[in-house]
């Protein structure tokens, strides 16, 4: 059976890598299954935020031919038939009418790659305008960054300390926050710091005058992210 958690973790790692490397100066190729249209939409949003064009190249093949090719691969590099069937069943075919799947280049095994068209779609096309929410706004106070860094780090420290004696299902009270952190599992320092960095990046784009709200907002963000 496909392990949904492993799949989710793999997609999350790929998306994070794209987010780190995406820029207007480099060509980035994500050579992966990308078979879920919602995931392709998330990748499209990253390109919008970076104000860089993107393109989707769909390598289309008959499932029977794919199965034959799979049989000829080594055991280490091949899928089991059960997993291959599940991937075929769950594959959501790209649709050029969807903005996150456009421009779309569908390539069959015997086709020549349309190099010029792909190149033009990346280098001769204007990038999509970013959403207003992804455009960084000026910081609302000189103290904001300091408070954002301090408060979020304090929350992380409280969680790490609480985990020494807590069990899954416990709720951790956070100073100066109305809501509690719900610990459904043991959360590593690396995971907490990664979530903290994501929250800080988001919050920098949406600064606030009332820094007393940061703690509660970070707790809410954690509860959605570390399940």
pLDDT in tens, 101-131: 999 999 999 999 999 999 999 999 988 776 5
Residue 5, preceding bond cis, omega within 30 degrees?
A: no
Alpha carbon distance 82, 214 (integer Å): 47
Q: Are 79 and 87 in contact (CB under 8 A)?
A: yes
Domain boundaries, the chain: 2-124, 143-226
Nearest 5°: the CA angle 170, 171, 173 is: 140
Instruction: Output the tens digit of pLDDT for each of the chain's 227 residues.
Output: 446 678 888 888 899 889 888 888 899 999 999 999 999 998 998 898 888 999 999 999 999 999 999 999 999 999 999 999 999 999 999 999 999 999 999 999 999 999 999 999 999 998 877 654 444 444 455 578 888 889 999 999 999 999 888 888 889 999 888 889 988 888 899 989 999 988 888 887 777 777 888 999 999 889 888 76
Give the single-character DSSP code of 3: -
pLDDT in tens, 87-98: 999 999 999 999
Cβ neighbours of residue 20 closer than 8 Å, sequence gap 6 or more: none
- Identify the CATH class of 2-124: alpha beta
Give the single-character DSSP code of 108: -
Radius of gyration of the chain, Cα coordinates, nearest whole angstrom: 22
Residue 66 vs residues 7, 34, 87, 98, 107: alpha-carbon distances, Å? 21, 16, 11, 26, 14
């Amino acid at each position: 059976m496909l392990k949904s958690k492993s799949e989710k973790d793999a997609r999350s790692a790929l998306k994070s890598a794209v987010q780190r490397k995406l820029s207007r100066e480099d060509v980035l190729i994500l050579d992966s299954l990308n078979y879920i249209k919602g995931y392709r939409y998330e990748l499209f949003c990253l390109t919008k935020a970076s104000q860089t064009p993107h393109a989707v190249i769909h390598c289309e093949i008959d499932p029977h031919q794919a199965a034959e090719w799979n049989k000829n691969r080594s055991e280490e590099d091949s899928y089991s038939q059960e997993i291959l069937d599940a991937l075929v069943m769950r594959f959501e075919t790209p649709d050029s009418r969807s903005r996150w799947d456009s421009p779309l280049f569908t390539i069959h095994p015997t086709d020549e790659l349309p190099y010029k068209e792909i190149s033009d779609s990346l280098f001769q096309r204007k990038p999509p305008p970013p959403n207003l929410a992804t455009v960084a706004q000026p910081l609302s106070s000189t103290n904001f960054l300091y408070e954002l860094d301090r408060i979020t780090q304090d929350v992380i420290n409280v969680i790490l300390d609480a985990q020494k004696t807590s069990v899954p299902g416990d709720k951790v009270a956070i100073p100066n926050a109305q809501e509690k952190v719900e610990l459904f599992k043991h959360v590593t320092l690396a995971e907490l710091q990664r979530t903290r960095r994501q929250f800080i990046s988001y919050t920098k784009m949406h600064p606030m005058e009332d820094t007393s709200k940061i703690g509660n907002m970070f707790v809410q963000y954690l509860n959605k992210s570390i399940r």
